Amino acid sequence: MPLPPSDNERLIVAWRQRRMILSKKYRDYKTTATSIILEQNPALFTQPLFAPTFENQLPIYIIFYLKDKRRDASDMLKCLLDVMKTLIYTDDKWVVPIFVAPYRIDKENPRVEVEISGGKDYI
């Protein structure tokens, strides 16, 4: 999956409406990432795979492959978890992100890899 925008790029201020709205960059990323996720698992069109709870939290292993050291991998986490919500799991409150590495460098192909280890409760 492509790298998500940072959390700082997720919202913009709409002065006339006096509120915060999702940025175009974030909306475009969400559309792209959603299509990639659904392409890999078409069954997600009907319902999410997991229903994590307090007793059965869902561990997710995430590896960010960045172009260089200037971006902050932890800053991209919120956007990534938001995109997977409603597709992969019902609520991200009980998702436990576990980083295998803070980041790795891949100048040719910056990306994020996500591995879901599974939980006991499937929907």
What pLDDT, in 10s, does the model give residues 65-89? Answer: 888 888 777 778 888 888 888 788 8
Cα–Cα distance for residue pair 73/63, rounded to 1 Å: 9
Instruction: Cite the DSSP H helix spans in the chain.
Output: 24-40, 77-84
Cα–Cα distance for residue pair 44/58, rounded to 1 Å: 17
With a cut of 50, say whether residue 21 has pLDDT above it: yes
With a cut of 50, say whether residue 123 has pLDDT above it: no
Cα–Cα distance for residue pair 5/7, rounded to 1 Å: 7
Domain boundaries, the chain: 7-116
The fold of the 7-116 domain, in CATH, is: 60s Ribosomal Protein L30; Chain: A; (3.30.1330)
Mean pLDDT of 98-120: 77
Q: Where is average pLDDT lowest: 33-37, 45-49, 91-95, 117-121?
A: 117-121
pTM of the complete model: 0.72
In this predicted structure, what is the pLDDT of residue 32?
92
33 exposure class (CB count in 10 Å sphere: 0-12, 13-18, 19+)? buried
Residue 18 region by backbone torsions, left for phi larger than 0, else alpha for psi between -120 and 50, else beta: left
With a cut of 50, say whether residue 91 has pLDDT above it: yes
Element (H, E) at 22: strand 19-22
In this predicted structure, what is the pLDDT of residue 101?
61
